[in-house]
Amino acid sequence: MDDRWAPVLDELRERFAADTDVVEVEAYLSSKGYDRRQIGEILSLLYSDTVSSPALIGLAAESETGRAPSLRVQGPHERGRFTADAWGYLVTLYASGAVNLNDFEHLVERALVHVDGRISLADIRALADDAGLDDGAMGGEHPLIH
């Protein structure tokens, strides 16, 4: 970790709860005069300790299936957009083998481009179903999207 950001990270941890929307933290840093590059670096360091388990679950599932282990961590622009359920669903699709890495990234990109605001589990399921990528990996009935 870059020691120059340690005081900033300490301040952010005191000021914001762990589940605070990344957009609020980004706005705060911007108001303090940090540029976009610095904000990205700070947010990466801030959230690197708090990366939630879906990414780690994906890593564990990959090693069990014999695929080369890889870790896909959300970027700061993605953290503020995806709900935990939506991201977990994407990782589960990948870990189950229902989608490959290219399809995974394609779903992420489509969601970021086509969904306004927070990306929910229903949004990701609809996108995966529309692309023919969800072949019942999660079970259950999916609503009909027109």
Domain boundaries, the chain: 3-48, 53-130
pLDDT value of residue 137 = 44
Question: Is the distance from CB of 76 to CB of 22 less than 8 angstroms?
Answer: yes
pLDDT value of residue 49 = 53
Tokens 């890593």: give the residue: 59
Distance in angstroms (rounded) separating the CA atoms of residues 126 and 143: 8
Question: Is the distance from CB of 9 to CB of 45 less than 8 angstroms?
Answer: yes
Percent of the chain's residues with pLDDT above 70: 73
Q: Which residues of the chain have pLDDT under 70?
A: 1-2, 48-71, 134-146
DSSP character string of the chain: --GGGHHHHHHHHHHS-TTS-HHHHHHHHHHTT--HHHHHHHHHHHHHTT--HHHHHHHHHHHHHTPPP---PPPHHHHTTB-HHHHHHHHHHHHHTSS-HHHHHHHHHHHHHH--SSB-HHHHHHHHHHTT--SSSS-S--PPP-
pLDDT value of residue 134 = 62
What are the residues whose beta carbons fall under 8 Å from the beta carbon of 68, sequence distance 6 or more? Answer: 62
Tokens 């780690």: give the residue: 56
